[in-house]
Structure 1
Amino acid sequence: MDEADSGARRLVLAHGRERARSMLEPEKRPLADIAAEVMADEDGRIGISYSGFCLTGLPHKKLADDEIWERRGHRVSLLVEPGRTVKDGKRSYLGVPYGARARMILLYLQTQAVRTGSREVELGRSMRDWLGRMGLTWGGETGKALREQAVRITACHLRFSWEGESADGWTKGGFVQSGLRFHERPREDERQTSLWEDRVVLDPVFYEALRRHPVPLRETALRELADRSVSLDLYIWLAYRLHTLIAPTPIRWAALGEQFGGGYSRQRDFVRDFRKALAPAVAAYEGAMVTMGEEGLTLYPSRPPVAPRLVAIGGLRE
């Protein structure tokens, strides 16, 4: 079996970033940068994801505006229906949220809700600062993409269905109840613009599920994977799975394809792309132990990406 590129972490630990980069093939040098940034993090900032998103995820690419999205994971499934709007007397679909930008918005909302203990999340400067730490600026094409995803998040309906845990599923809900309309307006007293909405209110059922089942993540890892939506999903998945294992756990390619694939007519094409996406996720998860073989992956018990003491300091439970 091949290690899922935890070798980049070991090289950085043994030789430092620059020496490690010179020892890697050109296409693998970014892995040394990711590992070095995570290992050098001294702030210990924490991000949060609902456990359902650790086992399922949004689409990575844009779907047809009226298309429904469904994804199955380990003992859970997610169904997302696009919202609709009325313009000039005509109804049209807005499409489901997708890609890395939608994931980063949702991670911010979930993190702030758990941190403050409230489903009312402040936007404005707080969100700008967080996006800035993630390397995302509000202006230009990035800002346009964030606003589009915000509209899709606001309008869509979703359902998580858990096997054996019916209380944690709901028939019709959303991510947010109100707010999250990211129109900009110029401020009178300064040149920069501010968010039109001052706050967003999370859907009460989604918030309660999040409050009961938050999964701590390294903010630095999220930043390093902010432009890699598949790697981001894999990192969040590993953060949920690895530290709960008590023995090596094999997962076949067919099961991985059901959870992370889609749009692949040949398994070997999925495996090729999965391998590429997994490497940055493992590099961003200090301590992750994962191997790949002909039949699939093997996950090994690993320490969590966020130390329990940091969770306690941040006021967040595991």
Structure 2
Amino acid sequence: MAQGRNKQGQIDLFPGEDPVLDPAPVGADATVHDILREKGGRKGAAVYAMATLPEPGRRAPVDLLAGPRGPRIIMAAAETAEALAATGAQEGAAGYVYSGWCLLGLPFRKPKGQAEHAWRIDTHYAAIVVEGGSKAMDDGSLRQVGVPFGAYARLIQVAIGSDCLERGSRDIELGTTAYAVLRRLGLPDGGKVADSVLEQMERLARCRVSFRIGSDTKGFVINDRIIEAFEYDTDSSRRPFIRRLRLSQAYYDSLQRHPVVIDRDAVGRIRNSALALDVYLWLCYRLPALDEDTPISWAALRAQFGHGVTALKHFKAPFAESLELARSVYPAAQFEVVPQGIILRPSPPPKKTRLIGTA
């Protein structure tokens, strides 16, 4: 069956013979993992979602699966379960990220105007300022390098931070060719996507970041470069790439003192969504630390994740979808979307949970 669209406008990501629809309804609290089990796997869940009319304004998982991003949520959840079944592992591939990135992230897309060279975001408890670096050219000019942005910048942070922390060294050898560097990072190694990854690598290497936890009158600030030094080269296609790098001492020390454990396989499955990556990192940071149910208002969520979104009504739907996409690769995450926002519940750190019926 060729890819098409259903009545909700979803793209069919699961071509092949359609299974018989199981029309038995699922509860509003059923997660995508529950639906995968109850409906016989990814195709059964996809068919059920295609036949479901979402309840307006409810934003329960089943409503989100019936929306435009439903197939991607189902696919990410099924891949998580299938990978576990194939390896028999009890946990995902461990990775680490500095806790500051779980509270405040980079721009989702390329900023415009002055924000491309000095970008800031604030919440009630923290602030981040990212300043783009500069590049001395052979002709004597100075070229401005903008701030890092998007999903690939986030994935690079996870990759280099995890590798350095696991080996106990600020230094990391990336590769002697652009292709080797991309493979080392576990990122796409061909075409324009590869060029974008290498560009984000350079933006990260040259930027300066200031994290502030607290207020104008009392707090704590980390103000330094992420990368202290790097060696670069150019491949046969005249693509510049970074061969090796050294994290700054301040950033490395902060990573050692405040690491958040994540699943590197999980971030790879949602690598095309910067918002879902930020939500996933935030859940990894907040949920294991909770002792009781904790409500978070829509206003607070928009302050942290709604970069550039002026109306709250335009924020709720994409955030709820990204929240469920994050849970698709973090099955142990416990939370509930309610009219006032979300309720976070104490949950174990991210690990792959054995799921049944996802063939």
1:38 aligns to what? 80
Secondary structure, in 3 states, of the residue corresponding to 1:22?
Answer: helix
| Counterpart selection for 1:176 from 227, 246, 251 | 227
For structure 1, the residue ranges without an aligned partner over 5 or more in a row are: 187-191, 308-318
2:109 aligns to what? 61
The separation in 1 between residues aligned to 2:219 and 2:122, in whole angstroms, is 18
Compute the RMSD of aligned alpha carbons. Answer: 2.7
8 Å Cα contact 2:148/2:200 also seen in 1:
yes
- How far has the Cα of 1:102 moved from its partner? 0.7
Secondary structure, in 3 states, of the residue corresponding to 1:137?
Answer: coil
The separation in 1 between residues aligned to 2:29 and 2:240, in whole angstroms, is 40
Secondary structure, in 3 states, of the residue corresponding to 1:169?
Answer: strand
2:122 aligns to what? 72
Q: Give 1 or 2: higher helix fraction.
A: 1
CA 1:139/1:277 → structure 2, altered by over 3 Å: closer, same or farther?
Answer: same
Q: For 1:97-112, what aligned pairs fall within 5 Å after superposition?
A: 97-112=148-163
Secondary structure, in 3 states, of the residue corresponding to 1:24?
Answer: helix
2:171 aligns to what? 120
Q: For 1:242-281, what aligned pairs fall within 5 Å after superposition?
A: 242-281=287-326
Question: In structure 2, what residue type is equivalent to 1:57?
Answer: G
The separation in 2 between residues aligned to 1:51 and 1:5, in whole angstroms, is 29
2:44 aligns to what? 19
The separation in 1 between residues aligned to 2:141 and 2:169, in whole angstroms, is 36
- How far has the Cα of 1:86 moved from its partner? 3.7
1:8 aligns to what? 32
- How far has the Cα of 1:8 moved from its partner? 1.1
8 Å Cα contact 1:31/1:283 also seen in 2:
yes
1:229 aligns to what? 274
Ranked by relative contact order (alpha carbons within 8 Å, sequence separation 6 or more), the top structure is 1
Secondary structure, in 3 states, of the residue corresponding to 2:96?
Answer: strand
The separation in 1 between residues aligned to 2:71 and 2:289, in whole angstroms, is 30
2:253 aligns to what? 208
Q: Describe the superposition over 1:139-197 as per-residue Cα deviations: whole angstroms up to 9, x where unpaired.
A: 21011101111111111111111229x896223x111011164x4424xxxxx999864
Q: Decide which moves more: 87-96 or 152-161.
A: 87-96
Which is higher, the Rg of structure 1 or of structure 2?
2
The separation in 1 between residues aligned to 2:121 and 2:30, in whole angstroms, is 28
Secondary structure, in 3 states, of the residue corresponding to 1:170?
Answer: strand
- How far has the Cα of 1:273 moved from its partner? 2.0
Secondary structure, in 3 states, of the residue corresponding to 2:314?
Answer: helix
8 Å Cα contact 2:174/2:184 also seen in 1:
no
TM, length-normalised to structure 1: 0.84
TM, length-normalised to structure 2: 0.75
- How far has the Cα of 1:38 moved from its partner? 1.6
